[in-house]
A and B are shown apart, each in its own frame.
Chain A
Amino acid sequence: MASAGVPQLEYKSIRHQFVDGERDFVAVDGIELTVRQGEFLCIIGPSGCGKSTLLNLAAGLIHPTEGTVLYRGAQVRGLNTDVGYVTQRDTLLPWRTAARNVSLPLEVQGVPEAERKERVERVLELVGLHKRGNRYPSQLSGGMLKRTALAQILVYEPTTLLMDEPFGALDAQLRMSLQRELLEIWGRKSQTVLFVTHDLEEAILMGDRVVVFGANPGRIIHVEEVALERPRDLVALRADPRFTSTWERLWSLLAPQITEKE
């Protein structure tokens, strides 16, 4: 395919505003961003700066007030069903067990039962949940819920993954093991990932590029190429001078944005 040259996703002079009560509220403004195919792109910024808006635009859940969003060269008009979206909130179906939640996208896409079962099992194993498949969400811990949500998206292999602070509410240890798993899975498939986080460390360790967002209105203030080679050792890299210098530089950009808000 000649598609190698076509960017996966392009935001072209995007401005998006919501009606917030009486007033219009500008969520993002002047967004110019091209996401390469197969890239792991991290988006970081203070909360409420419109990072999630970027994902919603890519999924076609909302459409920009001004500008265009292109997915593989074509304008996103309706829903973009090429993406798998892991939202910030838990949106598992509470009446389905973990395994049946994971099999949901395959069911609605008409995958035959035998294949469904096999793929669900494989993905559950991948995220380390194969022994918990028959539990209901109410019987799972926070970390297991996140894994299930991740497995539910991975199982149908969408070409682009949108992830909105997927590991936000987890403790440090669990977080690291999920980060490692995600990178491993991403390394094997050649999916494009848009990964929103508020954790600078996470953004640098995971991403090929880090997009730094500013607030009021949400806008891109910097795009950083992360030159760390892959596969990455998430523990060792934390002490790597290249990591620390990048962290310090990005933090100096980010910190004023956060204090500005509070």
Chain B
Amino acid sequence: MNTVAAKPGAATVAPSVSALARQARRRRRIAILMIQIALAIGALVFWEWAAGPRNTPGILIDEFYISRPTLVWDALRRWTTEGVLWISIYYTFETTVLGFIIGTAMGLVIGFILGVNPFLASIFQPFINALYSIPRLALVPLFMLWFGIGIGSKLALVVSVVFFLVFFATFTGVKDVDQELLNKLRLMRANWWSVHLKVTLPAATTFIISGLSISLPYALVAQVTAEMLSSNRGMGYLLIRSSSQFYTPGVFAAITVLMVMGVALTWSIQLLENWLLRWKPKAH
């Protein structure tokens, strides 16, 4: 084993402490990943094994209620050949992201304006709080009346959900900015715009990012809900159609797709966060 160390001159080369620690962390990560994969596969296998047609011997649960992984897979394949799957994903994804972007833009702008202007903020705060406490789903009938049952009412619902969360995050972040920093910039002869561009907005980024990562999953929820209430397109529509036809594999297939979409959206916002906050010291 110690052939390397036995060689003269090579004995001084020992792996550094940090390299050893890195190796240990890597091993741990791989172990965790393996266990996770095993758990997921195990759960799927158990599901497949336990569920089956009613009154079949050895079956624990009627597949009418919980379907089976292979049936879900079939449903997905069927939707793919019918050409309905990708279109639905695209529609839901596009509207969610578009609504998210509009809501974020509005939340950023208004949050910033009220954040730097305490007088305006005190005027508008009670109104915004009141609007925020309306259950957003209660607005769906109005949105349909105003924007029709097409993409308009869906966008409106998503925007109404995202706006407030981003608004509060931005508002808090902007108000929280260190006055000493602002004064320092002013002493350097920075004008109003560069003070806020160089200090206020970057300083508020931590808050804003958390607002974004909280509101993105809600944007998807709002979009799917709107589709379930009134639509002939999107994943929410596929879900509600399958359910009304008592087609359980379809319901599970739609849920699975939505889960993957949710994970993908969360993941993308995480990437954005890592990039925007790359200056933060890494916490172990």
- A contact set with B: CB distance below 8 Å: 59, 61, 79-81, 83-85, 87, 89, 91, 93-97, 104-105, 107-109, 136, 138-139, 156
Contacts and interface: CB of A to CB of B under 8 A. Distances in A.
B204 to A, nearest CB: 11
A59 B187 CA distance: 8
Interface string B179-213: 01101111111110011001100110100000000
A256 to B, nearest CB: 33
Nearest to B184: A91
A104 B186 contact: no
Contact of A96 (B194, B277, B279, B280): B279
B280 A83 contact: no
Interface of B: 178, 180-181, 183-191, 194-195, 198-199, 202-203, 205, 277, 279-281
Contact of A94 (B185, B194, B279): B279
28 contacts: A61-B183, A79-B183, A79-B186, A79-B187, A81-B186, A84-B187, A84-B188, A87-B180, A87-B184, A89-B180, A91-B180, A91-B181, A91-B184, A93-B202, A93-B203, A95-B202, A95-B277, A95-B279, A105-B189, A107-B194, A107-B198, A108-B185, A108-B190, A108-B198, A109-B188, A109-B190, A138-B281, A156-B188
Contacts of A79: 183, 186-187
The CB with the most chain A CB atoms within 10 A, among B183, B187, B189, is that of: B187
Contacts of A81: 186-189
Nearest to B276: A95
B206 to A, nearest CB: 9
Nearest to A94: B279
Contacts of A107: 194, 198
A104 B280 CA distance: 19
Contacts of B184: 85, 87, 91
